[in-house]
Amino acid sequence: MSTYFLRDDFSAALRYYFSIYHLTPLWFVPDAFGLVCLGLFIYRCIIRNRSIIAVLVLLQIFLSLGIGYLFLGNTTALASSFKMMLPVFIGFCFCDAETGSYKKLLVLMAILFYVSIFGVILSAHWKAPWVGYNYEAFGIKRQAGRVWWSGAEQRLSGFSEDNTVVSLFILATFVTTSIRKNIWWCLFFGGVALYALKLTTSKTTLGVLVMYLAALIVVRLLPERLRFPTVRMLAIWSYLAILVPILLILIFGGTSVGSKDLFFSLIDRINNSWQKPFIYLTQLMPIAYVTGCGVGCFNYPQAAFSNLASYWVSVDNFYLTTYLMFGVPFIIFMFMVIRATLLTTDIYKLSLTFVMNIFSITVADYGPASGLLIMSFIFSEVFSRRASSFFQERRGLKPPRRAIAPDGAPAMAGAVPRLNESG
């Protein structure tokens, strides 16, 4: 997880220096760890936890890779699709983890929070050498630091490749760092983070952070015994965000606004990003409404390596993107994930669930890889020993017994986790 976070948060700088010093292979070190974690996922979730869901998910991923190969039509796209999915297994391996015990990881997250903000503010006053630098990867011309504009303002991206990447890191690292900080730290650095996000022009992330700060203040004002149940309730109800694109299409579909309008990007998603892929899917592969069109479809493997690149549409929503790739099995999986959230005792997973579900309404989360890693991290509880025992008991596959809690965390029948005075 650390190698992916470091690579993606410093992606523009690393692309630039790896290219000019001919160290490009180092870019793929995190992917090598992802491959190792595929084996670790099989051991932890399938062999040790005996999770039937883990078995089905693994089979579905490889089945969807095959469907994606048939849909996209070449081995380069298949290789890119496989690489794209590797971060999933890293997040899934946190199935029985209590994130609070990963002290070094939390320190790194705090450092990345401060560095990400510093990078954005610095880029407002200094043109980095990687801004606009062109490099080639697998025959595709790219820019290490893309120069994008929103109205008359440049979308600042700090040390990252674009503003969406750095805004994700500011949001996610603020959430993980704020959990054990006092309210005054949260308010001060929350304000600093909002200023940095304004510089990135990422309206989605800015709005999500405001919502998180409001929720944080409300939770801190509650009696301690009510804080954890409230956080878990917010996490569970945040899954309603999955329905938001459907509602917005029904209400605002066909609406037209000017390119400089405040809600132009949202209307563009409603009319194009969220609808056109399904129109194309009806033409190209109608059965995909059930099976999905495979890993990589309507994602960057299709855009970069497939003969169907002309049909590619940027689907700016994580759940729509993933449904397009996996079909109905993904809906069933999400039903199990939501049920597993009822068993979750990790305050970090629950807090990120609340934030990422709202953030993912207008962001696909497959680029950078860290976005997909965080999503799989918050889903990981579905493979835990506790969830596996619960699901098997409900289906009569094993005799009822008290759910097994991760080391250091109470079972659901016991007391709720206590938070310290600051959190």
pLDDT tens per residue across span 380-406: 999 999 988 888 776 665 554 444 444
Closest CA to 381 of 347, 423, 340: 340
What pLDDT, in 10s, does the model give residues 81-107? Answer: 999 999 999 999 999 999 999 999 999
Residues 309 and 235: their CA atoms lie apart, in Å, by 36
Per mean pLDDT, which range of 73-82, 210-219, 234-243, 250-259 is the poorest? 250-259
Exposure string (b/e) for 258-292, b if CB count within 10 Å is 16 or more? eeeeeeebbbebbbebbbbbbebbeeebeebeebb
Tell me the pLDDT band of 412, cut-offs 50, 70 and 90: very low
Residue 144 has pLDDT above 50, yes or no: yes
Residues 9 and 160: their CA atoms lie apart, in Å, by 5
Tell me the pLDDT band of 117, cut-offs 50, 70 and 90: very high
Residues 331 and 295: their CA atoms lie apart, in Å, by 15
Closest CA to 193 of 223, 160, 168: 168
Identity of residue 414: G
Residue 222 has pLDDT above 90, yes or no: yes
Residues 239 and 331: their CA atoms lie apart, in Å, by 12
Residue 179 has pLDDT above 50, yes or no: yes
Is the peptide bond preceding residue 368 cis, with omega within 30 degrees of 0?
Answer: yes
Residues 6+ apart with CB under 8 A from 63: none
Residues 386 and 380: their CA atoms lie apart, in Å, by 12
Positive or negative: CA dihedral 264, 266, 268, 270: negative
CB 296 within 8 A of CB 325: yes
Exposure string (b/e) for 55-86, b if CB count within 10 Å is 16 or more? eebbebbebbbebbbebbeeeebbbbbbbbbb
Mean pLDDT in residue range 202-217? 95
Q: Look up the pTM and report it.
A: 0.89
Question: What's the pLDDT at 255?
Answer: 83
